[in-house]
Amino acid sequence: MEFLLVTQLLALISVTTALDNGLLRTPPMGWMAWERFRCDVDCKDDPKNCISENLFRDMADRLAEDGWRELGYEYVIIDDCWMSKQRDEHGRLQPDPLRFPGGIAKLARYVHDRGLKLGIYADMGTHTCMGYPGTTLDKIEIDAQTFASWGVDYLKFDGCHSNPVEQMIGYPRMSKALNATGRPIAYSCSWPVYVGGLPPNVNYSLMGEICHLWRNYYDIQDSWDSVINIVDWFSNNQDALQPAAGPGRWNDPDMLVIGNFGLSIDQARSQMALWAIMAAPLIMSNDLRTLSNDARAILQNKVAISINQDPRGMQGRRLLQEKSHIEVYWRPLSNSASALVFLSHRQDMPYLYHTSLAKLHYDPGSYEAYDVFTGRTMTGLTHTTDLKVSINPSGVVMWYIYPTKHKRFHNTWKEHTLSTYHVDEAEAVPPEVL
């Protein structure tokens, strides 16, 4: 305990004016290489999938040309394995010359020319998780300056091969070093996961002062078990985690694996809905070149995205765990609206769940609810209306709910959503079901 107090004091002293660039007032959205492409560096036999400038150019093209950028997916993020095994003669990190022959600055210009932003990966230990050069304490300033000179917009700073003292000093120091470059760079910290993710080992007030987002828990894998394990951990610890989130500071349950190999369509909807409820970063890790129409529809769901991006920035919570293995999640939104997610942990058949808004702690009054994945609007609801919700196994039903007395505003909200995302109303908001 004494060690914790001393090291936390060290960090607080070192963090003065560390992060003041005003970025990520809503959770970041984009694409990252790691979960889907890992550390594939075999560009001879697997040129389409290896970690190379061609892969990131391809993904930038897809984000720019396939409607993602207009929805808010703006970051193209390089993860581990981009580096040469040695720093250059000036002590700077450098990309692998065979896989990134044009260099990172040229790749950044390519990404920027498409209206997107470039993210990059570093690790504050002696080596990255996959054995490439790390950013030790004496290299933090030069690496921050290098990234800024290349035109990087986002840094994921990992913590493999480092110890708690180095992390306590290094994560705040990198925050200050990024700020000192004068370039606005979003800062993703992996610090919490390396010390257990929870207080007292993690000071989330401090975390919000130095990082825009942070990894709390272990890496996601391409499976429903992994997704639901992360959701359960966040929900079981929501009293410690939920207050830490807000505009400019986000808990990060890791990447969206929708469109890969491990999730059914229902499970993919579940991940999208729960990440929206948790105000989580929407960072995809998939192959945008071969994405199915079903996966695209989920990831481009305009109302789910708008819930995730709600400017109030409050992370949602799990309200109920029923004996029927149905769980209910709730998130308060701007202008008296809210979002509800009904999640089935069942594995047998669709389950008909009975509830009411009163049971879910809504105030007396009349409401309307928009079903995010079917596009139906339910009108004439009161807080006592018996609600029957059919939920598929490992699936969700997600509602956007607002009081009828604010209906005029929420019609405007729909119009704003449509104009923001440049789509026709018929495509995004089907006619109400009376």
Active site residues: 158, 219
Alpha-helix runs per DSSP H in 220-372: 224-236, 238-241, 265-277, 293-299, 302-308
Q: What tokens were used for 116?
A: 């997107």
Distance from C-alpha of 201 to C-alpha of 194, rounded to nearest angstrom: 10
Name the helix (H) or strand (E) containing 145.
helix 140-150
**Cα–Cα distance for residue pair 237/215, rounded to 1 Å:** 14
| Two tokens, residue 193 | 């996961």
Q: What's the rounded Cα separation, in Å, for the pair 223 and 302?
A: 25
Please report the DSSP string for 193-260 in residue order: HHTTSSTTT--HHHHHHH-SEEE-SPPP-SSHHHHHHHHHHHHHTHHHHGGG-BTTBEEE---B-TTS
CB distance 383 to 357 below 8 Å: yes
State how far the Cα of 40 lies from the Cα of 365, in Å rounded to an integer.
Answer: 56
C-alpha to C-alpha distance for 265 and 245, rounded to whole angstroms: 29
What residues have CB less than 8 Å from 242, skipping those under 6 apart? Answer: 315, 316, 317
- The number of helix segments (H) and strand segments (E) in the chain equals 16, 16
Q: Which residue has the tokens 């007292």?
A: 200
Residue 250 φ/ψ, nearest 5 degrees: -130, 135
Q: Tell me the CA end-to-end span of the chain in Å, nearest whole number.
A: 60
Whether 372 and 326 have beta carbons less than 8 Å apart is answered as: no
- For the chain, give percent helix, strand, coil, nearest 5: 35, 20, 45
Q: Count the neighbouring beta carbons within 10 Å of the beta carbon of residue 314.
A: 17
- Closest to 405 measured CA to CA, from 352, 432, 348, 367: 367
- Give the up-direction half-sphere exposure of residue 90: CA atoms within 13 A in the CB hemisphere: 7
The interaxial angle of helices 103-113 and 140-150, nearest 10 deg, is 50
